[in-house]
Structure 1
Amino acid sequence: MWPLGIAYPPAREDGYWAPITSTLDWCEENYYATHYLAEIVNTLTNIWFMYLAFKGMFNCRRNGHDQVFFVAYLGYLVVGSGSFAFHATLKYPMQLVDELSMIYTTCLMFWATFAYNRTQAVQVSLGIASVSLSIFITGYYHYLQDPTFHQNAYAILTAFVLFRSIYVMEVNIRPYYRNRRVEREKAQSGRSLTAAEQSEEKRKDRRDSEILTTMWILIGYGLSIFLGGFGIWTLDNVYCSTLRVWRHEIGLPWGIVLEGHGWWHIMTGYGAYCYIQWGIWLRHCLNGRQDEFEMVWPGWFSIPYVEKRVAPVANGSVTNGSVSKKTS
């Protein structure tokens, strides 16, 4: 035992929610800490998920972000709550709530990403396609009861949304592409920009270049944490028997650090939260409201959020329009 460590109580099969009916049972031993929670660490780490969901919803309401992002955070809350219930009970219905809510929330972001700035007919068509895809995945997964199918479907959907968002960000915010559009408009109208207009375009170029730099940092940081959580979870699955031996050797509470699925919850929760915040900021930039909103990100170990500026930047002034170092 490590200093102040205590021995792990034995795992049990007669917990409050027994018997286990889920198709998955993770590496954490069951009911060793309490009669009422099948996997205590995997259960309680979802409180972080739920906290971030409420923080995101509050931020959307307070700052007037698009309604679709409030709904996305609501789905994020369902994911955290479903995962809490799943790991607490290891019941198949709770497993479906956990896993399928991930699919539904990602399908919502898929629609929000691909339907933006489209005609109403295209938005409706994409909405029907997204709902149909959700229904298909639900039915086929329930038929197969194969977690690999769910994991692959979630990964493919997430990749589609991520790469589409990156493409939209680059094409619409990168000054190079905007300047090409301005040049085309000048050529069509036969009018040259005034000195004031040229100065304003240069300000926007500086502002948007710095915004893009910060966005890429946020993307890389969030994605690294998300994939890091996935890597730890994979190691937890592959080396489960070894990790269980190590946990018993070092004892409680130190053994909790070796609960890889709990780290997956914490790290992917943060990564997913950052992705939605990036989506909020990107949407404001696409709407030409860079001077009205800012990303507040005090430091690497803080929680970023998009906030309405107290005093929007006036045309002609110089600002980076990117990151505030507020501590609130």
Structure 2
Amino acid sequence: MDSSTVVPFWGPSTSYLNFCEEDYVVTRFVAEFINTFSSLIFIIYGIYGLNQLRNKQQTGYRSVSYLGLIGVGVCSAGYHMTLKYHTQMSDELSMHLLTTPLLYRILTFQASPERTRLVGIVLSILFTIVMVVHMAMDEFVLHAVSFGLAVYMIATRTSKIIFQQVTDPTLRKKLRNISFFGIFCFGLGYSAWLIDEWACGFLINTRHAVGLPLAFLTELHGWWHILTAIGGYVAVALVDLVTTGELHEDPTEHLAWPLPLAARFIESQTGSWKQK
């Protein structure tokens, strides 16, 4: 489809960010086809997590983070489908709605009631400041830095809690491997995000040369969605496990794909390295 002759169903773009995927190439109803449908992986992981909670206790507050994953997927898909300013804001808001409850859970783990209330107040104030400044001033740096800092705090604090709470060395090692895999996915996804921006011209020329469906593989922002969805699910699942005391047995095989496969691969590689 020649995108230059397409009349967009959603009208002209009003978002101030537009990624390397060419707009309305596949259909006039979806601005960025791959970026839209790759966002659905967040929803899949969220639904899987909620399904795993069905037979567990106190699932109300535990479901919040999995609902956050679903929210990220819905808002991201809406943004890339329409390329409107308000859907862009909802996409960026959803990222903080995912990380803030996770921060609250790990920062209040085994904390006193006074500290718990203080953390809740501080996080609420910071969340409000970040989003008001971001939306009122079209300011992107504060949003990006605060999100990156939240991810860093979640990763480091979760690893520390695993070390403190898990006494079985084998189980601790497996959980740490899963944590490192999630961090690796975030890092690899961020690299794909940067390359998608820096090498956009080359990527577009490559897509035109190879044609569909192979051109879909060069949509690196879509890979960012997939990789960060995996990393986000790892964060949500591990925070849920370590803050609810459900670490009496190995939970690896109950986690969503590809975590069981990744855990076995990392374990085999570290075992081979030790033998050498």
Q: Say yes or no: does 1:296 pair with 2:252.
A: yes
Residue 221 (str. 1) matches residue 181 (str. 2)? yes
- Measure, in 1, the Cα distance between the counterparts of 2:49 and 2:42: 11
Count of aligned positions:
261
Structure 2 counterpart of 1:249, which letter?
A: A
Q: Secondary structure at the match of 1:297?
A: helix
The aligned counterpart of 2:31 is 38
**When the two structures are superposed, what TM-score results if normalisation uses the length of structure 1?**
0.74
Report the Cα distance in structure 1 between the residues aligned to 2:79 and 2:252, rounded to whole angstroms: 34
Measure, in 2, the Cα distance between the counterparts of 1:256 and 1:150. 29
The runs of 5 or more residues in structure 1 that have no matched partner are: 1-7, 176-207, 305-322, 324-328
* Paired position in structure 2 for 1:182: none
Q: 1:300 Cα shift?
A: 10
Instruction: Confirm or deny: 8 A CA contact 1:68 1:112 kept in the other structure.
Output: no
Contact persistence 2:185–2:228 (CA under 8 A) = yes
CA distance in 2, matches of 1:261, 1:218: 24
CA distance in structure 2 between the aligned counterparts of 1:123 and 1:301, rounded to whole angstroms: 34
Aligned-partner residue type, residue 268 of structure 1: T
Asked if residue 166 in structure 1 is aligned to residue 123 in structure 2, the reply is no
Query: Relative to structure 1, is the Cα distance of residues 36 and 75 closer, same or farther in structure 2, using a 3 angstrom cutoff?
Result: same
Match of 1:142 in 2: 135
- Which residue among 10, 22, 43 is the counterpart of 1:29? 22
The runs of 5 or more residues in structure 2 that have no matched partner are: 261-266, 268-276
Q: Which moved more, 1:26-35 or 1:272-281?
A: 272-281
The secondary structure found in structure 1 opposite 2:30 is coil
Q: In the alignment, what sits opposite 2:229? A: 269
The equivalent residue for 2:147 is: 154
The alpha carbon displacement at 1:66 in A equals: 5.2
Q: State the partner residue of 1:319.
A: none
Bigger drift between 163-172 and 47-56 goes to: 163-172
Partner of 1:230 in structure 2? Answer: 190
Which letter maps to 1:294? D
Structure 1 residue 100: Cα displacement = 1.0
Question: Cα distance 1:265–1:253, how it changes in 2: closer, same or farther (>3 A)?
Answer: same
Please state if 1:211 is matched with 2:171.
yes
Q: 1:247 to 1:113 in 2, by over 3 A?
A: same
Distance 1:153 1:11, change over 3 A: farther
Query: CA-to-partner distance for each residue in 1:230-268, whole Å, 9 max, x for gaps?
Result: 111110010001110110011111100000000011111
Kindly provide the amino acid, as one letter, of the partner of residue 295 in structure 1.
Answer: P
What letter is aligned with 2:215?
Answer: G
Paired position in structure 2 for 1:53: 46
Matched, 1:252 2:209: no
Tell me the CA shift for residue 271 of structure 1. Answer: 1.2
Larger relative helix fraction: 2
Using structure 2 for the length normalisation, give the TM-score. Answer: 0.88
Q: Larger deviation: 146-155 or 58-67?
A: 58-67
Shift of 1:23: 1.2
Structure 2 CA distance for aligned equivalents of residues 48 and 271 of structure 1: 11
Pairwise CA distance, 1:11: 4.5
1:123 aligns with 2:116: yes
Please tell me whether the aligned partners of residues 12 and 31 of structure 1 are also in contact (alpha carbons under 8 angstroms): no
Taking a change above 3 Å as real, the CA distance of residues 222 and 65 of structure 1, as seen in their structure-2 partners, is farther
- Root-mean-square deviation (CA), in Å? 2.1
Q: How far did 1:63 drift?
A: 3.0
Q: Secondary structure at the match of 1:166?
A: helix
